[in-house]
Amino acid sequence: MILFLCYITTGLLLLIRDCNEFLSFCHKHIFLEVFFAMAGEVPNLAESKLTALVVDDNFVNQSIHHKLLDRLGIKNDVVCNGQEAVDVHCSGRNYDLILMDMDMPIMNGIQATKRLREMGIESKIAGVTTRAEEEEVKEFMEAGLNDFQEKPLTISKLVSILHNLDFYVQA
Amino acid sequence: MQRQVALIKKSLFDQGYLDEQFMELEELQDDANPNFVEEVATLYFKDSIRLINSIDQALERGSFDFNRLDNYMHQFKGSSTSIGASKVKTECTMFREYCRVGNAEGCLRIFQQVKKEHATLRKKLEHYFQLARQAGPKETARRSK
């Protein structure tokens, strides 16, 4: 497995050296960071200056998701339900990534996602929930999600979200 | 002391009290948050005790609102899953099954198991964290291979 990864790494580095167009398209930094994360190392995305919002009513999950994002160098805020997520955007704040729980009091994740999209919020929204029935996931995705992960969230799942959502390093 | 801590942690996994998710949390510990897992566990037990009390009160009233009970247990199971509390999570799943089919007797019986597993885990983790603090940060900040 390690030899295979080394082979792939070497091949990719050669490709990147020779293909400037491919390099600029793939935004080398974030690509390699994610690649090394998949190889078992934790990327540090602090240079990318990404920001995130954790939307979850459960204090345990709030703490874990906040720490996961911190570990990746992503500055983040935490709110307790969908209504607070909407309110924070109404106050003028904006985030690159929103981690949205589904089941929350006052305003759930589906309602909040729909509302944010209606408001014109174009942030990437990743649904993070324990509910994994096909119909439930479909309804959540159709509300306006860009990605979905089943809880519990881990470093590798979070890196997968970042990879799926094509986050690039800001200049 | 460090060896003792490692053995206790291994037994928690071998006996099925904890699963892989607990190790994921340990990976998040660093110099800035050397007691992160203990802090999260403390949050978990504070929150889960609140939920246990809510379910107890609902069951004592005798009115089996299965939707409400299921909502409480959904939250409880979610938290348990997030910290890797494997046995507690299993009992929560069974409780929700009884709620789904409207089996009051089953709910009452399984809830006793939920509370038992929860209390056992709490005792074992408190002991583990106490020893881990005495041993120093190295043992809790490294993932078991």
A79 φ/ψ sector (left φ>0, alpha ψ -120 to 50, else beta): beta
The answer to whether the beta carbons of residues A34 and A43 sit under 8 Å apart is: yes
Q: Which of B39, B44, B78 sits opposite A130 (nearest CB)?
A: B78
> Average pLDDT for residues A99-106, to the nearest whole number?
95
In chain A, what residues touch B75 (CB-CB under 8 Å)?
Answer: 58, 103
Enclosing H/E stretch for A97: strand A97-100
- What residues of chain B lie within 8 A of the CB of A130, using their CB? 74, 77-78, 81
Q: Do A151 and B81 touch (CB under 8 A)?
A: yes
Lowest mean pLDDT among A40-49, B25-34, B42-51, B86-95: A40-49
Phi/psi at A80 (5° precision): -100, -10
- pLDDT score of A26: 47
* Nearest-by-CA chain A residue for B51: A58
Give pLDDT, residue A10. 63
Distance from CA of A24 to the nearest CA of B (A): 32
Strand-pair partners of A78: A54
Residues 6+ apart with CB under 8 A from A42: A71, A72, A155
Contact A58 B75 (CB under 8 A): yes
DSSP class of residue A47? G
Spell out the domains of chain A, with CATH numbers in brackets. 4-39 (no CATH), 51-164 (3.40.50.2300)
Nearest CA in chain B to A103: B75
The contact set of B with A (CB < 8 A) is 21, 24-25, 27-28, 30, 33, 36, 39-40, 43-44, 46-47, 74-75, 77-79, 81-84
pLDDT range class, residue A40, cuts 50, 70, 90 = low
As a residue count, chain B comes to 145
Across the interface, whether the CB atoms of B43 and A59 are under 8 A apart is answered yes
Give Cα B119 distance to the centre of its chain.
9
Query: What integer pLDDT is reported at residue B15 of this predicted model?
Result: 96
Instruction: Specify the range with the lowest mean pLDDT, choosing from A108-122, B68-82, B124-138.
Output: B124-138
Q: pLDDT band for A130, please (50, 70, 90 cuts).
A: confident
* Residue B38 burial (CB count, 10 A): 20
3 state SS of B60:
helix
Residue A171 pLDDT grade (very low, low, confident, very high; cuts 50, 70, 90): very low
Mean pLDDT, residues B43-57 taken together: 95
pLDDT for res B144: 38
Comparing A39-43, A52-56, A93-97, B43-47, the range with the smallest average pLDDT is A39-43
A79 beta partners:
A55
pLDDT score of B61:
84
A60 touches chain B (CB under 8 A): yes
B19, B26, B27, B28, best to mutate vs chain A, most A CBs in 10 Å: B28
Instruction: For this complex, say whether ipTM is above 0.90.
Output: no
Rounded to a whole number of angstroms, the distance between the first and last alpha carbons of chain B is: 19
Q: Reply yes or no on whether the pLDDT at A15 is more than 80.
A: no
Could you report the per-residue pLDDT of B74-113, keeping only the tens digit for each?
999 999 999 999 999 999 999 999 999 999 999 999 999 9
pLDDT at residue A17, rounded to an integer: 63
Structure tokens at B102: 């409207």
Given a cut of 80, whether residue B120 has pLDDT beyond it is yes
Residue range A32-51: average pLDDT?
67
Whether residue A60 contacts residue B79, with contact meaning beta carbons closer than 8 Å, is answered with yes
- Across A69-80, average pLDDT: 95
> Roughly what angle, to the nearest 10 degrees, separates helices B20-27 and B36-60?
140
Closest CA to B26 of B117, B129, B130, B131: B129
- Given a cut of 80, is residue A3 above it in pLDDT? no
Query: What confidence tens digit (pLDDT) does each residue in A43-73 have?
Result: 788 888 899 999 999 999 999 999 999 999 9
Indicate whether B137 pLDDT > 80: no
Judged by DSSP in three states, A121 sits in coil
Residue with tokens 């885990």: B121
Provide the pLDDT confidence category of residue A169 given band limits of 50, 70 and 90. very low
Mean pLDDT across chain A? 83
Read out DSSP for B75-143? HHHHHHHHHTBHHHHHHHHHHHHHHHHT-HHHHHHHHHHHHHHHHHHHHHHHHHHHHHHHH-HHHHHS-
List of chain A residues whose C-beta atoms are within 8 Å of the C-beta of residue B25:
64
Interface test with A, best of B45, B82, B121 (most A CBs within 10 A): B82
Q: pLDDT per residue over A143-155, tens digit each?
A: 999 999 999 999 9
- Tell me what percent of chain A is helix, strand and coil, each rounded to the nearest 5: 50, 15, 35
Percentage with pLDDT > 70 across chain A: 74
Cα dihedral A29→A30→A33→A37 (10° resolution) = -170
